[in-house]
Amino acid sequence: MLLTQYNPFKELRDLESKLFSSRDLSTEDSVMNFTPKVNTREGEYAYHIDVDLPGVKKEDIKVDVKDNILVISGERSHKEEVKEEDYYRIESNFGKFTRSFTIPDNTDIENIEAKSDNGILEVVIPKVEPIDTTKSISVK
């Protein structure tokens, strides 16, 4: 008698491979389920947010700040066209994304900069010196 470990997901994976065996999911999944990867870091004078946006044009990226929340959003589209002698095929897919970040109180919102280069969006949020809100009131 041969013992095997029960895998509850085996039947599901078998069904999935039968249903999708003729489709190239690598391209479709990367476009339809688009969630960009983000790296954040704090420097001495600024906070930095780097967003990996391959295939996204600068014109399709939007960066907004409202109520100390930085929102990076956009859309990328993918179009594959194949022309052969006996057939013509076009596949179009797109993906929208939104990422939000709470900005600390010690930032200069008016001077935030965003730059896109080679599929990487870099957002620089300058720091400011904290304002001393303590006030002495003379007693009369």
Higher local confidence (pLDDT), 24 or 43: 43
Residue-level pLDDT at 116 = 93
Above 60 in pLDDT, residue 14? yes
Above 90 in pLDDT, residue 10? no
Residue-level pLDDT at 83 = 84
The strand ranges marked E within the chain are: 38-42, 46-52, 61-66, 69-83, 88-102, 113-117, 120-126
Tokens of 60: 């399709």
Residue-level pLDDT at 41 = 94
Tokens of 94: 């797109």
Residue-level pLDDT at 124 = 96
Task: Spell out the domain ranges in the chain.
Answer: 23-126
For 23-126, CATH number?
2.60.40.790
Residue 59's contacts (CB-CB under 8 Å, 6 or more residues apart) are none
Tokens of 23: 């489709």
Q: Which of 120, 77, 69, 118 is nearest to 97 (CA)?
A: 77
Average pLDDT value over all residues in the chain = 81
Where helices occur in the chain by DSSP H, the ranges are 10-20, 25-32
Q: What is the mean pLDDT of residues 88-94?
A: 76
